[in-house]
Structure 1
Amino acid sequence: MQDLGIAFQTAVGDSGGNLDGRTPLPSNDWLMKRNCSLTPRQAGWFYFSIVCFSTAIAVFFAVWLGAWLVLPFAGLELLGLGIALLAYARHAADYERVSVTDGMLVVETASASRITREVFNPRWVRVELGESFRAPVVLRSDKRSVQVGLYLDPYRRRKFAQELAVALQRV
């Protein structure tokens, strides 16, 4: 399993104007995402360059030196690398966004190409952090629960849980 970093930001500010003339409630927004070195496009270009380089070397050994068995092994190597980079690229842009704004708690999670969105009443949500050092933050309301903070290190996960609990108490 790869080591995951975090891009963690908190925005506290104006949530926009209300049409009924009331002062807008402050909004809290947490964006947590993987700290990946390559974007999916960069991974594609990297793979293309490796294919060109590896194919050139394999063709050199096959044609000029007569080692024809190099070609199938180079193909297997490129196939394995392609599968690994495809799995990496599918999850490179994964994120979790938790927003408390205008009386709603919205949890949006993107994993591969699937985006899920859960909306909770913030007055009914419990923020739970397990006793384990690696336990994610669990948001529970009624019979629904959502795990968040999967891309955070344990210290930042605890800090996020505390900030979210304070934000939920203010609503």
Structure 2
Amino acid sequence: MLIDLSDILSVDGKTKELKMPVSMDSFESKLGSFPVVEKQPLDVVITNTGKKVLRIEVKGKVSLALPCDRCLKDVATEFEIDLEKEVDMKTSEEDRIKDLDEINYITGCSLDIEQLVHNEILIHWPMRVLCKEDCKGICSHCGKDLNEGPCSCEQESPDPRMAAIRDIFSKFKEV
């Protein structure tokens, strides 16, 4: 959804407050496609602070269904959209690239809300998603969810000579 910024740019000190719906039904990236399970309208405040500088404030929430890193069950993950940014509309796109200012949600005199939300989700993407802290994951042989109970795969007995090394690894276990 695009917001026309030309009327705000025409008057110094003008403020525009909007309640914008999030129209995306899924989040698409190189990571995959993730369905949006909950979305709240975004509160958008755009202020012309003078000399073609806009202050953009966006607040809202979007929840995506992300797979648990251990058992692959969908977990509703909430992303808080809280952006406050000042944009100098006098600078050209080439100058923004030189300054490493990656504002790809403003094109000409239009603000693309969907692109802004997409960027905020990527910035706040979690390192690890777990359905619960003690998730047991899935069996590496048969693929059964071990949270629902043990599988019938044959459990190999570990070599007793490796007990000291196994103790070291169990103390520093990440996943």
Superposed pair shares fold, TM > 0.5: no
Q: Which structure has the highest strand share of the two?
A: 2
Q: Which structure has the highest helix share of the two?
A: 1
Question: What is the TM-score with the length of structure 1 in the denominator?
Answer: 0.24
Question: What is the TM-score with the length of structure 2 in the denominator?
Answer: 0.23
